[in-house]
């Protein structure tokens, strides 16, 4: 079982420091969040020399850059083509530095737009990117998030695109807390398509989500880890801890709690 964390834990760290932090706390990978002014330096407009150096730094420490987390989303007819174009550039970026996956969103469905229209747009966008992703050896992973927290809806998107390069980033929290779907049900629905996983625990009160340490919230991480382990999942489980505690506090604690479940 491979554990990683997203750069939201330490947006102030450059790539060398982020890799060293992963090594220090026993993580096998890191997941840079793009277009968020994080200091890792891995962006579509970075120079080839800077990208080559970043890849070398990670390789020297045997830390995998396991996924590039984008904010690309395709549900809004006003901007989905712009996001589709950017996702294509991120696929090229991932291939340059040997990253096996990128995270994209379906996106929030705007007021007045029918779900069927957004569904068709997402399918069209993912389909248009699928051959490029496959040619570059990159998985295009749609996250269970925003208007697409229901695993059945996400699985329907992936089935409709029907391409080996198009997969799922299973964020284990959102189907449970937003779509009210049991963990084992969500897993069984998405199992054939899971290529990347996000974890974080939280509690929801009056519609507001608050992050809490793993094991102290409403998300059954033990079940998720056991289900992934028992099905032979070989990808990464990546902690997405956004605007939370100092990384020196939560990174060692969260990986220790996850490893208890393996």
In order of their start, the domains of the chain are 2-259 (3.20.20.150)
Alpha helix locations (H) across the chain? 15-25, 48-60, 80-96, 115-135, 151-161, 173-177, 183-190, 221-230, 247-259
Q: What is the DSSP string of 185-207?
A: HHHHHHGGGEEEEEE-EEEEETT
Q: pTM score > 0.95 for this model?
A: yes
Q: What pLDDT shows up at residue 1?
A: 85
Q: Quick one: 238 exposed, middle or buried, by C-beta within 10 A (0-12, 13-18, 19+)?
A: buried
DSSP 3-state assignment of 107? coil
**217 in Cβ contact with 203 (< 8 Å):** yes
Q: Is 145 helix (H, G, I), strand (E, B) or coil?
A: strand
pLDDT by residue for the chain (262 residues), tens only, comes to 899 999 999 999 999 999 999 999 999 999 999 999 999 999 999 999 999 999 999 999 999 999 999 999 999 999 999 999 999 999 999 999 999 999 999 999 999 999 999 999 999 999 999 999 999 999 999 999 999 999 999 999 999 999 999 999 999 999 999 999 999 999 999 999 999 999 999 998 888 899 999 999 999 999 999 999 999 999 999 999 999 999 999 999 999 999 999 9
- Under a CB-based contact definition with an 8 Å cutoff, are residues 70 and 30 in contact? no
Contact by Cβ (8 Å): 107, 73: yes
Please state, in angstroms and rounded to a whole number, the distance separating the CA atoms of residues 94 and 135. Answer: 12
Say what the pLDDT of residue 206 is: 85
Kindly state the tokens that stand for 103: 């995270």
* Residue linked to tokens 């050896």: 137
Helix 151-161 and helix 115-135, axial crossing angle in degrees, nearest 10: 50
């Amino acid at each position: 079982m491979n554990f990683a964390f997203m750069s939201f834990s330490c947006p102030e760290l450059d790539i060398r420091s982020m890799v060293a932090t992963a090594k220090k706390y026993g993580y096998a990978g890191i997941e840079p969040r793009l277009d968020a002014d994080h200091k890792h330096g891995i962006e579509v407009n970075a120079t080839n020399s800077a990208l080559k150096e970043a890849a070398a730094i990670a390789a020297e420490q045997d830390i995998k850059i396991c996924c590039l987390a984008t904010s690309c989303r395709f549900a809004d007819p006003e901007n989905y083509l712009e996001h589709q174009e950017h996702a294509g550039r991120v696929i090229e970026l991932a291939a340059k530095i040997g990253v096996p996956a990128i995270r994209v969103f379906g996106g929030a469905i705007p007021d007045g737009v029918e779900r069927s229209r957004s569904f068709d747009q997402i399918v069209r966008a993912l389909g248009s990117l699928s051959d490029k992703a496959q040619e570059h050896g990159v998985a295009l992973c749609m996250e269970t998030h925003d208007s697409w927290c229901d695993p059945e809806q996400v699985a329907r998107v992936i089935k409709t695109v029907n391409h080996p390069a198009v997969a799922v980033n299973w964020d284990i929290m959102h189907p449970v807390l937003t779509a009210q779907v049991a963990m084992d049900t969500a897993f069984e629905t998405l199992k054939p398509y899971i290529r990347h996983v996000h974890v974080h625990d939280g509690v929801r009160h009056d519609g507001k989500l608050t992050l809490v340490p793993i094991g102290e919230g409403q998300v059954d991480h033990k079940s998720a880890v056991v289900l992934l382990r028992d099905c032979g999942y070989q990808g990464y489980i990546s902690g997405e801890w956004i605007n939370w505690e100092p990384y020196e506090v939560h990174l060692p604690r969260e990986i220790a709690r996850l490893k208890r479940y393996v």
